[in-house]
Amino acid sequence: MSRAQRLLDLIQLLRRHRRPVAGAVLALELGVSLRTLYRDIESLKAQGAPIDGEAGIGFVLRPGFLLPPLMFSEEEIEALVLGSRWVSERADGALGQAARNVLAKVGAVLPEDLKQGIEASGLLIGPGAPIAAGDAELPAIRAAIRAERKLRIGYADELGKATERTIWPVALAFFDRVRVVVAWCELRDGYRHFRCDRIAALEPLADRFPRRRAALFKQWRELQGVAEQ
C-alpha cells in the first residue's frame, strides 16, 4: 500500500469514529506500527487535517473536514455509480433525479481518468418487477422525516380496513416491490410499518416529534434487534 493510500485510509477511519479513538486501535486497523501511525497523523495535521488529540488520550477528526472528490478510490466510485443507478431506477422520480444530479456533479470535478470510470462503469441495475403505487407521497414523507414533523394518514390494512393515523415517520425503507414507512403510531402507541401503496391520504402537520428522530430511530433498531453499523 502506498503512503498516500494509507493516509487516505487513516482519514476515512477517523471519520467513522465520533469520539476519540486510541492510537493503538487505529494502528491495528491500518496494519501499521504505532510509531508509523503517529507519524502519519502528524503528516495529516501538517496538510491541514483538523485532528485533535494526542498519544495516550486518543485522536478524533473534527466535523466538517472534506476530502476533494479526486481522492475517491476506483472502488468508491463504483459504489457511488451502482448506488446512484439503483436509486435512479428504483426510487421515486424526485429522488431518482437527485441521484443523477449527484453523478453529474461528481463527474464534473473528477480527473479525466476517474471520470471515465463513471461513464463506462460495467455495474448495472437489472430490471425488476413493477413497484406498487405510492410514489406521489414519498417526497412529503421524506420531508417530514428530515423536519421531524408528524403526518396524518389515511391507511388501509391488508384486509382493506381503513383507519386514520397520526404518525412520527423515522425512516423509509425501499424494498424490491414496495416502500415502507417506519413510524411511531399514536393510535397504536408503538412503532408500526406502513406500506406506502396502502396510504390513501396524507397530510403533513406542523407538530414536531416530541423526541428527536435519532433517538426514535435508535430505539426502533434496538427493538428490531438491528446492530449498529
Cell of 108: 464534473
Whole-model pTM: value is 0.66
Q: Write out pLDDT tens, residues 125-148.
A: 887 766 666 677 899 999 999 999
Looking at per-residue pLDDT, the higher value among 98 and 3 belongs to 98
| Contact residues for 121 (Cβ-Cβ < 8 A; gap 6+) | 77, 78, 81, 82
CB 212 within 8 A of CB 174: no
- Rounded Cα gap, residues 125 and 111, in angstroms: 25
Q: What percent of the chain has pLDDT over 70?
A: 90
The residue count for the chain: 229
How high is the pLDDT of residue 229?
41
Tell me the H-state helices in the chain.
Answer: 3-16, 23-30, 34-46, 74-90, 93-109, 112-119, 138-147, 213-224
Cell of 136: 406521489
How high is the pLDDT of residue 226?
60
pLDDT, average across residues 139-166: 95
- Rounded Cα gap, residues 117 and 101, in angstroms: 17
Vertex 218: Cα angle to 216 and 219 (nearest 5)? 65
